[in-house]
Amino acid sequence: MDFKKNIKKLALLIKEFKDILRLAFSLAKANFKLRNEGSYLGFLWYLLEPLCFFGIILLIGGVIGQHPINYYPLYLFLGLIMFNFFTNSTSIALKSIMANGNLIKSMKISLESLVMSSVFQFVFSHILEMCIFFAFMIYFKASLWLIIFYVPIFFLFLMFVLGVGFMLATVAVYISDLSNIWSVFCRLLWFLTPIFYSMPANSLFHRISYMNPMFHFINISREIIIYGRVPGFSTLLLMVFFSILIFGLGIFIFKKYKLKFAEMV
């Protein structure tokens, strides 16, 4: 009997997860289209920021001197679009509960879907950016087939970003200034993460960066996709560890406090 009850509970959990996921994707598509409504450039707006930023950094680097990094344009652009996905997704996820206060109070809706849709809407723009990156790979004659390894990496990266989003959405209900705090933190993280520069492998700063999850996601993506090198086992293990830990912690915190959200928003 206990076995059958456990099977039924598992089936209900899977059904609930599918319903949350379906609603999250529907909301994400709606938000993605809404953001481009009335715009002449439409989806191109999602590409202008990383492309302009990419061009500026590349130009500054060209003025200062030659880059010692092989395939530097690919190195820079991949780091940019991954970091932009993290900052844009988490910044919107942070506001997902507070921004939908009236909706939460007026109808029964999956709160998890609100947070997940905030992240998923940037998956669509990230796919567009990866298409540009693929075009760069063709231009610089990099090994195109290696890009398939980005799929499992991005899945783990998405888990990590969702976990951060769940935590931020929860804390933002209680701390109104969190959006400003997170904005400052992301600016600091931009300089602490090797996006437009590289670090010597045995340097102190490199060892400190091992505690920065963004370092692992970006570094592993570059090593595999651009250079065709397999990172060390410890680096891969840390990436998986950060993904599972942050996602699990984010879900746990969100579920613990979500029943109080209607009173707070």
Range of the domain at 106: 2-264
Report pLDDT for 249: 97
Within 36-149, where are the H helices?
45-64, 72-95, 101-106, 111-139
Contacts (Cβ under 8 Å, ≥6 apart) of 95: 118, 169, 172, 179
Report pLDDT for 102: 78
For residues 113 and 27, is the Cβ–Cβ distance under 8 A? yes
Q: Which residues of the chain have pLDDT under 70?
A: 1-6, 9-10, 35-46, 61-67
Neighbouring CB atoms inside 10 A of 96's CB total 23
pLDDT tens column, 167-215:
999 999 999 899 999 999 999 999 889 998 887 777 777 777 888 999 9
Query: What total of structural domains would you count in the chain?
Result: 1
For the entire predicted model, the pTM comes to 0.89
Backbone angles phi, psi at 229, to 5 degrees: -110, 145
Q: How far apart are CA 46 and CA 68, in angstroms?
A: 30
